[in-house]
Amino acid sequence: MTLHRKIDDWFLGYKTRAVKAKKDSGLYLGSSQRSHAKPLKPGSGLANLRAAALKHPEVMVKIPKRLSNNSKGMRGVRNNLDYVSRNGKVPLETQSGEKLIGKRAVMDFANDWKRLGIPEESKHKEALNIVLSMPEGTPPDAVLNAARNFAADQFAGHHYVFGLHHDSHNPDEPKHPHVHLSVLMRDEFGRRLNPRKADLFEWRVRFAEKLREEGVLCAATKRQHRGKVQKPENSLLRAMRQRGVLSNAAKQQAVELMEALKNNERPKHPFLKETMQTRGIVLEQYGQIAKELYKMGHKSEARIISKLAKDVAGQSFDTKAQNQYDTIKGNQPTYDKQQKQSISQDKDITR
């Protein structure tokens, strides 16, 4: 097995390249179960680790949560198309390259999808909305081209439509370019998409691959690859906070923080042992990769991976609750003693 293959298998975290479908049904599929989905390029793992070491921006791929009945059946499809097209103001593009300009064109397109057998009312979502995003400053046309190529590779056999949101097209849009991709859940054989967490990561890797083909510097890595302990704030929770509304989880966290301050007791990391074990595995892998690259004569690449390892080793294990406690108490952020004992930042892992 080549070094690239070893890195790719470890980097993705699963050898099948996708989540398995439900055993009792042949109508659900993850990304690898579609034989027409193109394989990732060899070396994608190392390419993304290298990009992370060089602090290239991380790509974002998410499936926004839509929990109301307005997101299901054909009604949900129409609502989503209206949103993506901004009621006809944003041009859309289909899987065949057809351009939909104006509200009438979008309505006609929705009627074409209904003729495929989508019921007006349904208990299920009939289209999956995927958001492909990059930070402010990324060329919007590059994001659009990458999204187009990503969809063509990943969702062959599906009907889909997509549109770009960016302030260069409309001053009311966000400054960070992002594409809304709406994919019919059922493919040409009637099988439904069943994406899981592993699929979303693979989609990020594939989208990053397409962006690099457009000349965009980017990375697609997991938090543990970068030594990040804290999860980014959920978009729904952030929107609630900006409106001055606290979620039940936020209220509970506030109560726990007040209790910790009252008792003058810094909150504990609930999964410190597991987090440290994961960190150790990641650093061990980086050490092996750097050594192999060095032996093969790729000294520059070995140094880059060594740099990533040292950056990861220096990341704090502190949780958000601990950071909030330290801020209020006026303490400096601290590392756990176990971290200092288990990780030596000065070790040259290429030797």
Arithmetic mean of pLDDT over the chain = 84
The answer to whether 210 touches 150, Cβ cutoff 8 Å, is yes
The pLDDT, as a whole number, for residue 300 is 96
The model's confidence at residue 34, banded by pLDDT at 50, 70 and 90, is very low
Q: What are phi and psi of 248, to 5 degrees?
A: -60, -40
C-alpha atoms less than 13 angstroms from C-alpha of 49 in its C-beta half-sphere: 30
Residue type, 119: P
Q: CA-to-CA distance for 345 and 311, rounded, in angstroms?
A: 8
The model's confidence at residue 123, banded by pLDDT at 50, 70 and 90, is confident
Q: CA-to-CA distance for 287 and 351, rounded, in angstroms?
A: 9
pLDDT exceeds cutoff 70 at 348: no
Q: Read off the pLDDT of residues 286-345 as tens digits, 9 standing for 90 and up.
A: 999 999 999 999 999 999 999 999 999 999 998 888 888 888 888 544 444 434 444 444
Chain centroid, CA 91 distance in Å: 25
**CB < 8 Å & 24+ apart, contacts of 266-270:** 266/322, 266/325, 266/326, 267/319, 267/321, 267/322, 267/325, 269/317, 269/318, 269/319, 269/322, 269/336, 270/319
Task: Set out the domains of the chain in order of their start, with CATH numbers.
Answer: 3-221 (3.30.930), 247-342 (no CATH)
- Comparing CA positions, the residue from 202, 95, 212, 223 lying closest to residue 151 is 95
Please count the other Cβ atoms lying within 10 Å of the Cβ belonging to residue 288.
Answer: 16
The pLDDT, as a whole number, for residue 245 is 64
Q: CA-to-CA distance for 135 and 56, rounded, in angstroms?
A: 11
The pLDDT, as a whole number, for residue 67 is 62
- Sign of torsion, CA 82 84 88 91? negative
Give the contacts of 215 (CB within 8 A, at least 6 positions apart): 142
- Comparing CA positions, the residue from 241, 271, 268, 238 lying closest to residue 256 is 268
Q: CA-to-CA distance for 57 and 51, rounded, in angstroms?
A: 8
Identify the H or E element spanning 153.
Answer: helix 140-154
